[in-house]
Every structure is written in C-alpha cells, then in structure tokens.
Structure 1
C-alpha cells in the first residue's frame, strides 16, 4: 500500500525527542522536588525519581556531575536541581538529566558535613577511648600545613617563645582546593612513618567553609585516626569546626593555640620549679623544726633524766636468771655424778678381762674343730678324685691302643660294624702313634667273605 501513514514506535519516539531537544524551555531548567528510589550505581551514576505531591519524573545524574557533589543524596531529601529534559528512547519516557543538585533549605556543604559526622560517629572514630594524651615535654613537633602562610609562622613563633628546646619539622601540604585532601593525607602518613615525631599539629588559618573543606574530607579524618602520633587539630578560627577536630586527640581553636597545647611555657616551668623548690624548703624546714622539738622533748623526759632507772628492772631480772642458772647447773651436775658412780661400780664388778679369756678359749675350740672338718673333707674328696682317675685310665681308648688295637673311621665316624663299610670304601685307621689312609678291598663276616 503506497504512502503508508503508519509510523514505527521508534520513529515516533525519535520525533518527539527532537521536539523536546529543540525546545529552549526544556534546556537548563530549574526544578525542585523530593528524592525517592535513589540508586547510587557502582559506575558512579545516580538514578532517582523526583516527585512532589502531584507528579513525578525519572531523573539521572551522570558520574561527571555526581562526583562534584559534597553530600550524599538520600530518599526523602528536598533538593534544587538544574538540568535538561529529554526523551529516553528505550522506554519512551521523558526524563530529567541533572547537572547540579543542592539541598533545599540547607547548604550542600553543611549537609555533607552533618552526614559524614554522623557516619564516622557511628563507627566510633570520635570516641574518647581512642584519644591519646599529649607528651608533656615533646622533643620533636611535626606540623602539617601550607609551607607559606600565617599558620606556620604563628606556630614556630609560639613554640620558640614557650619551649625553644623542641624541634619543629614541617610537612608541607596543600590546604585548600580539590587537591588539598590527598596532599594532607600524604603529609600525615609521611610524618607517621618518620617515627621520631612526638606530637603532630594539623591545620591552617581561617577562611570560609569552602576554604576549610579539605579538613572535612573522609580521607583526612581516617588518616588522622590511623596516625600513631598524638594529633592536635588546628583549623581556622575559634568558631570554625571541622571533622578533623572531632577525630584528633586534641582540638585547638587556632594554630597559635595548638602550639600552646603542644609545648609547656618556659616561664611557667621556671615558676613551677621555683614553687617546688619553695615547697621542698618549707617541708624540710618544718620537718627539722618538728624533729628538733621531738628531740628536746625526749631529752627533757623523766627516763632520760635518770637513765639508770631505765635498766634497773632488767638488771634485777638478769641477777635472778643467773641465780636460777647456777642452781639448775648444780642440780644437774649432782645427778650426773651419782649416775657415774653407779656405773663405775657396775664396771668394777664385771671384769672385761675374764670375758676376753672365755671368748678366746671358745675361738680356739671352734678353730680346732674347723681344722679337723676341713682335713676330713679334703681326704674324702682326694680319695674320690683318685678313684675317678683310675676309672678314666681304664676306659681310655688310647691305653687300649697301647696294647696293639686300632680304630677305623669312615667319613669322620667310628666304623664299629662291618655293615657300615663296603668294598672300595676309603677309611682312616688310627693307631697309637699315627693314622693310616686305606681302601677296603674285601669284607668278611663271621660266616662268609664278600669281595
């Protein structure tokens, strides 16, 4: 059919999209509403629905613009947006592509500050249990701030005036702008790695909230929390408050106040030493006076006026103990003398010489009896041995061989029967004075001969 009036869905959508894109009133529009269905995509894009009590529109904020946000968009938040309205061809819906976003009724930086403060507070980064005490007499003080500026000059002047013994090491950092937070983090980590810093001052001079914003960045807060050195936060003026102030071990309202916190005042130390010296002198003087009064009181006391009366009771007691000792010694000596006399009489009535004679006679009798028994046993055993020798001689085959007999061996065994031999057997004949090797030529039993 020629001149088909029907359009495809894609063609219609493209046409409508061109109309939207060509309308100048849909470019850079200002819209306010409430966020819902917020989706912070891993790619960095943010997708959400913008609504009021009557309508809603699908919206998107791409990563290039979303990365510039200081706060985190959340459901229910009222915002002020700028962006372009166009058609999303895939769904055919019109959509708002957001370029900027601001909280409605509250500043973006303030909102970001409150969000990060709440988040880090829930993690416990502000808890007092993590706060470390400052060293009373620091030898080395690190300072993270701009290399040029009033902050470093004020810190150096104050420390030199109050406690010139301390050494100051500057870790230069950018303290304002988009590169400030990474620079501050690097300087804190560098000071922490050095290992010789006793206390670290992190801060800068005053400025607007935008100027001080680097000290509200999460990366700076975590770097301060992770630092092993006690950290003093000194950002801006007394009325300025940053996230760094909450995380640091101590917060100073100004860089000058931070230097005063870091070191003691020389004049105050001198005055403290003098106070201690005066206190010691007063204590020593009072102690001497007290002990002198005590000595005078003792010297004028009744016992020291008549010292012999102090030890008179002990002398009398000593004399009594000596008398008891002498009497006890005499009693024991008398009893022992009586016992000795009784034992001497017993020894006299029982002569040890007679007992020695009796025992000697018994020993001689036993010796004589033992000698007779040994001689008798020896003769008995000698006779038994002689009889055994005669029997051995009588049974000794060598004695039999002396009379002309011999012994035949076959393969090392005695041939005691003709049945153990055969014609041609090799035998060994052992005589009295030697051996003869022979071969059996014939065998003869008692009744016949075998060849």
Structure 2
C-alpha cells in the first residue's frame, strides 16, 4: 500500500545532484548509481532502454538532472528513482560527450602532431570517403576537374549521418587501407549541418580508424566553423570539402609556372657558373703568360671549352628526357582519369528523383526521368524506349 501511494504521488519527478557509487553499466545494460547533494542521497536505477539514449559517459562527480518516477523496492525496503531521462547539468549531452572523448583521445596521444603523416605534394591516386549523393562529392570533383583532372579518383560511398554512419565510415577507411594501399591520400568528410548531423565524425570508432590508417587522411567535415573529433585526429584538417580538394590537388597552371621558374633558375645558375669559369680561366691566362708555354695554356682552354660543351649537351639531353617522361606520365594519368572518360563521349546517368546511379537498363522504365552527366554539363531526359540487351 505504501509502495502504491509513493509511486502514484511521485510518478514524475526531477532530481538534481552529483553522481556517486557509480559501478559502470551491467552486462544486462542496466545501470545503478546514486545522486547526492550536501544534505541527502538517493539511489537511481536506469534500465537498458534509457542508457541507450545517454550519449555521454557517466562517472562519479558528474552533475546530473534526472527525470523519473519514485519506486519502493519491497524486498529491501529501499526507496529509489527509476530514471526515464538523464541529462548533464549545464552543457548539453552531445557537447559533454564531445569533450569527454576529446580529453580521452588527447591523453592517448592521438592528437600529437608528431604522429601525423605528411600529405603528398603531388598525389596521383586519391580516395574519397563520403556520401555519393551529397554536395561534398560534387564540390570535390569539380575542384579537381578544374585544377588538375589527371589524378586517379576512387570514391567509397558511405552514410554520413544517422544509424550506421559511424560504422560505414570506419569500415571504409579500413577497407581502403587493406585493399587499396597504393592510394596517396584519403579525403573523409561531408557538407555542413547541425551537431547531430555531423555526429558520426565525433564517434570514437571513426577517430580510431583514422588514427590507424597507413594512408594520410584529410578531414573535411562541414563548414569552416565546424570542428569534430575527426579534425583533431586526421593528419590534416580542411575547413570544407572544396578546401580539401584545393589543398591536395595543385593547379596545373601553377605547377607549369613553378617548373618554368625552376628551369629558369637552373639555367641562370648554370650560366653564372659558366661565366665564373671563363673569368677564372682568363685570370689563369694572365698569370701563366710568363710561366707556361703558350701551347699548354691553349690545350687547357680547349679542354675546358670541350668539357663545357659536353656538360651543356648532357644537361640538355637529361632535361629533354625528364620532360618526355613527365609528358608520358601526364598522358597515362589523363587516360586513367574518370573525368577524362566523360570527355571521350561517355556519360553517367542517374534515375530521378531518387538520384540513383543507373548501371543497367533494367533499373528504369518507360517514362522515368534521367539526369545524364556528360563532359560539359548535365542533360535531363525521359525514357521513351529501352533495351535490356
């Protein structure tokens, strides 16, 4: 009777206090602890369903707000609160979870600049881990196409928010490391959103997958003001997906200007050296006029000139060979680029409005709308006839 009276009168109460006697989550998924203040203490029971919604880590000393119902445990005559909602006092649950994980991983050294891998200056193969339908992948591809379309691109499509996103992302990083170790760099990210939308990139499993990657990782999550745990662990953080592409792919015109400048500097250095040698020879001539026969000096001059010509010839030959090799590599990369395939008359089609990539005629029916990506732009069309052959 007392139990019924208590549970009816206090069917919904808020309790505020400091966590104590926390013994972790039981194997059943339930959790038992106490809340206390300066004057009193009360036992709290949180069943598995409630604990599944707690995003932060419970620990002694944490200040909590708990919503629950009063309950009397008759076998021991113990009064307790059965929680239905657990929130941290002050900071929000997600912010607290973020700070707890950040503190934990920082203590393990995962943010240490000394463990971060350098990003290749001229990557030839780039892996992209993001949503296949989001703005991020389009932004990255557009920037790469504009700056240097000769790189090879491998896109691993994943969910970037919601249930299963953290597992998709971490498994993608592990898969690419195991099956495509020749990738020079990985871009991992998505477009902007709320803290809930970006939360997959604040998950411990994603952070540890990035830290374990043998391939250098660039995080590119959200907008410039967004910071996630992934940004701290990655080898390099880019403020946006577009910025990541700008960082990793050099502009072809800029590269050409740099090569021209280096060649000009090298040529200038060689000419200066040659002029210095000629001046030195003239100086030797003036000193040797009274000390050496004329024919000895003449042979030395001829020998030096011959050597200079051979050096010039060897330098020019080596430069031609390097230029030819670079042009060959550029042609190979051009042939491998998926963007170059479009320029040869091929196209990629998506079924609309689902935005589903069409790989077979069996995926569409007469009357379906299609978005067709060609080398220069997009075409929107309707299916009037199809063949499954």
Q: Aligned match of 1:192 in 169, 177, 198?
A: 177
TM (norm. structure 2) is 0.72
How has the CA–CA distance of structure 1 residues 310 and 268 changed in structure 2, closer, same or farther, with 3 Å as cutoff?
A: closer
Q: Following the alignment from structure 2 to structure 1, what is the Cα–Cα distance between the partners of residues 71 and 288?
A: 116
Where structure 2 has 5 or more consecutive residues not aligned to the other structure, the ranges are: 297-389
Contact 1:303 1:310 in 2 (8 A): no
2:96 alignment counterpart: 111
Q: Following the alignment from structure 1 to structure 2, what is the Cα–Cα distance between the partners of residues 40 and 307?
A: 96
Q: Aligned match of 2:107 in 122, 138, 144?
A: 122
**2:45 aligned counterpart, secondary structure:** strand
- The answer to whether 1:71 aligns with 2:56 is yes
**1:40 aligned counterpart, secondary structure:** coil
- The answer to whether 1:258 aligns with 2:244 is yes
Structure whose CA Rg is larger:
1
Q: Following the alignment from structure 2 to structure 1, what is the Cα–Cα distance between the partners of residues 71 and 202?
A: 36
Q: Aligned match of 1:155 in 140, 163, 176?
A: 140
- The answer to whether 1:165 aligns with 2:150 is yes
Q: Following the alignment from structure 1 to structure 2, what is the Cα–Cα distance between the partners of residues 47 and 288?
A: 85
Q: Following the alignment from structure 1 to structure 2, what is the Cα–Cα distance between the partners of residues 210 and 217?
A: 11
1:30 alignment counterpart: 14
**1:58 aligned counterpart, secondary structure:** strand
Query: Following superposition of structure 1 onto structure 2, how do residues 248-397 of structure 1 map, counting pairs within 5 Å?
Result: 248-299=234-285, 301-304=286-289, 307-308=292-293
**1:65 aligned counterpart, secondary structure:** helix
How has the CA–CA distance of structure 1 residues 178 and 286 changed in structure 2, closer, same or farther, with 3 Å as cutoff?
A: same
- The answer to whether 1:207 aligns with 2:193 is yes
- The answer to whether 1:17 aligns with 2:3 is yes
Q: Following the alignment from structure 2 to structure 1, what is the Cα–Cα distance between the partners of residues 6 and 125?
A: 66
Q: Following the alignment from structure 2 to structure 1, what is the Cα–Cα distance between the partners of residues 123 and 253?
A: 17
The superposition leaves residues 281-318 of structure 1 with CA deviations (integer Å, 9 ceiling, x where unpaired) of 2112222222222233333x15335634999xxxxxxx
* 1:114 CA displacement: 0.9
Q: Aligned match of 2:219 in 218, 221, 233?
A: 233
* 1:118 CA displacement: 1.1
258-267 vs 137-146, which moves further? 258-267
Q: Aligned match of 1:218 in 190, 204, 208?
A: 204
Q: Following the alignment from structure 1 to structure 2, what is the Cα–Cα distance between the partners of residues 92 and 233?
A: 55
How has the CA–CA distance of structure 1 residues 54 and 264 changed in structure 2, closer, same or farther, with 3 Å as cutoff?
A: same
**1:39 aligned counterpart, secondary structure:** coil
* 1:225 CA displacement: 1.1
Q: Following the alignment from structure 2 to structure 1, what is the Cα–Cα distance between the partners of residues 282 and 294?
A: 20
Contact 1:188 1:224 in 2 (8 A): yes
Greater percentage in helix: 1
1:376 alignment counterpart: none
Number of aligned positions between the proteins: 294
Contact 1:59 1:98 in 2 (8 A): yes
Q: Following the alignment from structure 1 to structure 2, what is the Cα–Cα distance between the partners of residues 79 and 302?
A: 94
- The answer to whether 1:55 aligns with 2:40 is yes
Q: CA RMSD of the aligned region, Å?
A: 1.9
1:320 alignment counterpart: none
Higher relative contact order (CA 8 A, sep 6+): 2
